[in-house]
Structure 1
Amino acid sequence: MQHRRHFLHTAASAAALAAFAPLHALAQGVDQVKIYYGFPPGSSGDSVARRVGEKLAGTAYCKTAAVVDNKPGAGGRIALEALKSAPADGSVLALAPVSAMSVYPHIYAKLSYDPKDFATVSIGAVMHHGLAVGPAVPPTVKSLKDFLAWAKANPDQASYGSPGAGSMPHLLGALLGIRSKVELKHVPYRGTVPGITDLVGGQIASTMNPSGDYLAYVKAGKLRVLATSGPIRSPYYPDVPTFAEQGFPDLVVEEWFGFYAPAKTPPATLALANAAITAALKDKVVLDSLALVGLIARGSTQEDMAKSQKAEFERWGPLVKQIGFSAES
């Protein structure tokens, strides 16, 4: 009986300690993490997955550097479809733009996943989008106002490219046309590189893309960025006014890339992943690498990421209706 009382007392003490122990102390790390990314290697978000993934090695979350598995296509949806059915043990994450969770549900009647299929882990980096013009537009066009006046006077040439139909840049360009009452023809591309190539070559008047993707071309004098989408000016284009500064306040967008896990991943494992990722995003090597592609490193709590996603979802529902775009249109 005495042994039994001692056993019960010991078990109760252990249970009490476990109740007060931090979640991450109870979690098991993984040997290696695979990060799905739904766009090609070399794109700006790919840098986030790779630079952060390298820094996961030797953390409580992961023993070795992460492996990035690019699954391009369908605007990033293929990677999220793969994550939905992946093991919920912390060994698989995905990096995705917030638009995949906040905009796609409004434009795809038959989306192959639901945002509830995933758990938020941490925001990774923030990007601003920008409108750029190339040699097809006269050099006298130096501001957004100039461009809209030129587009109105030259309707046959008034076009803008985007990384794809339904992407955030596509919707920003459509909103710009609606708010300015200037018809801008949308030309969807498969990613940013083909559109910028045509822009530099003079085959298209303008493009709306993540502004970091223009950096090398602007430095070479081949493109001019006329507006950026952040709430304040981009640190990479301090002389370029925002859309809001130029009279379009609802074109303020900071789109972020975020890390997601399968929904049933244990909370303790998610806490370990969050700690490792947010630490990596403070590393100078990561900060400098992301700056090269025009991204601003920014970690977050799981809760703040979820709140931001929800706010974006609620914001874009009515805007998508105004634009009148759906995947079937």
Structure 2
Amino acid sequence: MRRRAWLAAAAFACASVHVQAQAQTQAQAFPSKTVRIIVPQPPGGGFDTVGRLLAERLGRVTGQSFVVENRTGSGTLVGTDAAAKSPADGYTLVVGSISNLALNPGLYANLPYDSLRDFEPVGLLVSYSYTLVARKDLPFHTLQDVLAYARANPGKLHYASAGVGSGQHVLGAALWHLAGVDIGHVPYRGAQPAYQDLLGGRVDLFFDLSPTARVQVDAGNTRALAVSGAARNPMHPQVPTVLETGAAQLELESWFGLFAPAKTPPEVLQKLRADFAKVAALPDVQETLVKTGGKPMALIGDDARAVVRRDVEHWSKLVKTLGIRAE
């Protein structure tokens, strides 16, 4: 009897060692084929910039191809949902941000994915503020002037966004709501078409990510009125924060990072996080992020999860309180 029990225990131990060895081998072998990074926005915006930077550097670090797939539709909903429903094997990842993970739960009554249950954070790479820009011929030079005109002329001004439910949409809607003004929303399929109409004078305002807004501001095509962060942005040191203007008690910086579907094997997540950490620590990556007006984060695993959970709870609640809906 004792011998039988001993043999059973030995067999169990051998099986456990075998499973551990298999897991270790799987992690060491990963990735053994092309990894797809879903970007839930069109080319040219913050999602796309971060996705392509990560794809290129992860390809160098691992020696395997990481390719960007722009999956657009319904703001960021279509691409993010596609990632949530992809096989949890590490070969389909998604760029996650405040927009698709923290704002969408408040914007949609029937969101097809759960930001906290359906995704595992690989890591958060960077955060960016937003810059409120106006078309260059708009006869207002401050946010206070814009709000004064909007109060006297409800519905006469219009602001662009990169899509329903995007950060540009929610941030603008929250500001106008808190300031008590009626400014119409015109959604586009990404930042580039929004700029086409802003530069063409067909819309008046755009709350865009500071790095992409900077190009148009520096070229003299638009005028910067305010930034959304808690402090002024080094790219626009002369531009006040929304808080400084007294327009509203509102601040937002959008983080961007890489996420895997839930139930991705722990050993694969561990490998992904180790590679992500290597990329985030590269001096040229840090330099690129700072030069584009970002704040490098390099948060991995549990640290990233804590930030995501905090912002999902805060922003989804605020969006519901403000009554901002995507449908």
TM-score interval, smaller chain: 0.7 to 0.9
Change in CA separation of 1:43 and 1:99 when aligned onto 2, cut-off 3 Å: closer
Partner of 1:258: 257
**What's the offset of the Cα at 1:173?**
1.6
Q: Which amino acid aligns with 2:36?
A: K
1:49 aligns with 2:51: yes
1:126 — aligned with what? 127
Aligned-pair RMSD on alpha carbons? Answer: 3.1
Note the residue ranges of structure 1 that are not aligned, 5 or more in a row.
Answer: none
- The corresponding residue for 2:100 is 100
Residues 135 and 201, structure 1, Cα contact 8 Å, conserved in 2: no
User: Hey, what's the Cα distance between the residues in 2 that align with 1:123 and 1:316?
Assistant: 18
Q: Which amino acid aligns with 1:134?
A: R
Q: Secondary structure at the match of 1:226?
A: strand
Paired residue type of 1:67: V
Matched residue SS, 1:56: helix
Moved over 6 A (4+): 8-16, 23-26
TM-score, length basis structure 1: 0.85
| Residue 180 of structure 1: aligned partner | 179
1:58–1:322 Cα change, 3 Å: closer
Aligned residues of 1:47 and 1:290 also touching (Cα < 8 A):
no
Give the conservation status (yes or no) of the 8 Å contact 2:179–2:248: no
Identity over aligned pairs, percent: 35
Shift of residue 226, structure 1, vs aligned partner: 0.9
Q: Distance in 1 between matches of 2:177 and 2:85?
A: 40
- Are the counterparts in 2 of residues 39 and 72 from structure 1 also a CA contact under 8 Å? yes
The superposition leaves residues 39-89 of structure 1 with CA deviations (integer Å, 9 ceiling, x where unpaired) of 122323212112222222364xx3313111221222222222222232322
Give yes or no for the alignment of 1:135 onto 2:136.
yes
- CA shift, 1:280, in A, is 1.0
Asked whether the equivalents of residues 26 and 267 of structure 2 are also in contact (C-alpha less than 8 Å), the reply is yes
Q: How does 1:151-162 map to 2 (within 5 A)?
A: 151-155=150-154, 157-162=156-161
Read off the aligned partner of 2:63 and give its amino acid letter: K
The C-alpha deviation readout for 1:239-264, integer Å capped at 9, x for no partner, is 21111222256421111122111111
8 Å CA contact 1:127–1:254 kept in 2: the answer is: yes
| Match in the other structure for 1:87 | 87
- Give the SS at the match of 2:75: helix
Q: 2 CA distance for matches of 1:80 and 1:218?
A: 31
Q: What residue number does 1:280 align with? A: 279
| Local SS of the residue matching 2:244 | coil
| Unaligned residue ranges in structure 2 (runs of 5+) | 1-5
CA contact (8 A) 2:99 2:165 kept: no
> Residues of 2 paired with 1:175 and 1:81: CA distance?
25
What does residue 215 of structure 1 align with? Answer: 214
TM-score by length of 2: 0.86
Cα shift at 1:123: 0.9
Residue of structure 1 equivalent to 2:112? 112
1:77 maps to which residue? 77
Distance 2:36 2:78 in 1: 15
C-alpha change, 1:274 and 1:235, in structure 2 (3 Å) is farther
What secondary structure sits across from 1:299 in the alignment?
A: strand
Corresponding position of 1:299: 298
- SS of 1:208 mapped into structure 2: strand
